[in-house]
Amino acid sequence: MASWNSTSLEIVYQVFGWTAFVSWSISFYPQVILNFRRKSVVGLNFDFVVLNLTKHSSYLIYNAVLYFSSAVQRQYREKYGIGQMIPVAANDVAFSIHAVILTAFTLFQIAIYERGTQKVSKISIGIVCAAWLSAAVCVIIALPNHSWLWLISVFNTIQVVMTVIKYVPQAFMNFRRKSTDGFSIGNILLDLCGGVANYAQMTVQSIDQDSWVNFYGNIGKLLLSLVSVFFDLIFICQHYLLYPGKKAGKCPKLGEESTEPLIKSSDHPESENASKIMELKCRGCHHTLSG
């Protein structure tokens, strides 16, 4: 059984680990609170949430099995060395459980709040179905030979792929709308903090053990941090540099009642001018919608 060589590094490892846990866990709440306050999920990409649920579910399976199963831990040490430490910590398992619950709750908000005309795309549904079907096939393959380490590595691969894919719909949606309105930047800032802390935790363990097996032995955790940081920086650039303070524009709804009086007084020509301008704008919107 591997052990820590430095007590101080072990403490630093725990600090970074739980910093990542707290940052990543809290990062779910700004979006949930924003949805609740607006009573709307317009601006939040549904594909992002659906893919995120598959990602966190597969990551939970990987973390929980590797952390609790002695059989899988034995196979891990047989592959990477008897003296190697297991690369999954308690904070990883705690985070995964919390992430699945909060992502599922966000899906519940999508079901009950105003969502406009947006739907989950058929492409995302197909990706999710393909991921779980592949996992089911791998379970059948792993059963005869008890290849448990290989099996959980499949779930680890699924979560890596989902991590890469899940950010794309939201980033593209922000670009198309030229706005990040409805998508919480607080989520991104906390996610960035968690990714950096997670990477630092892995580095501390590698320094203590004088081995970098911790990185390529848990490539999923490494890629999770790197990919998350990369897309977080993209969202930060979109929010603060490309579309600062912009809200997605929309035309007035057809048939919407105006707050202006139906009859304008001739004593206020400026009111008549304002009414004409509004009428021209609405006609322009109607022409656009008809086109």
* 162-215 pLDDT, tens digit each: 988 999 999 999 999 999 999 999 989 998 998 888 888 888 988 888 877 767
What pLDDT is attached to residue 201? Answer: 86
Q: How far is CA 115 from the centre of its chain?
A: 19
Give the span between the Cα atoms of 12 and 100, in whole angstroms: 27
Contact call for residues 50 and 119 (beta carbons, < 8 A): no
The residue ranking higher by pLDDT, 282 or 262, is 282
The residue ranking higher by pLDDT, 216 or 51, is 51
What pLDDT is attached to residue 179? Answer: 92
What pLDDT is attached to residue 271? Answer: 46
pLDDT band at 20 (very low <50, low <70, confident <90, very high): confident
**Above 70 in pLDDT, residue 256?**
no
- pLDDT above 90 covers a percentage of the chain that reads 54
237-241 average pLDDT score: 94
| pTM of the entire predicted model | 0.73
What pLDDT is attached to residue 252? Answer: 37
What pLDDT is attached to residue 255? Answer: 35
**Above 80 in pLDDT, residue 265?**
no
Domain boundaries, the chain: 7-241
Q: Is 149 exposed, middle or buried (0-12, 13-18, 19+ CB in 10 A)?
A: buried
Give the span between the Cα atoms of 4 and 12, in whole angstroms: 12
Place of tokens 């607006």: 38
pLDDT tens string 83-121 = 778 888 888 899 899 999 999 999 999 999 999 888 999
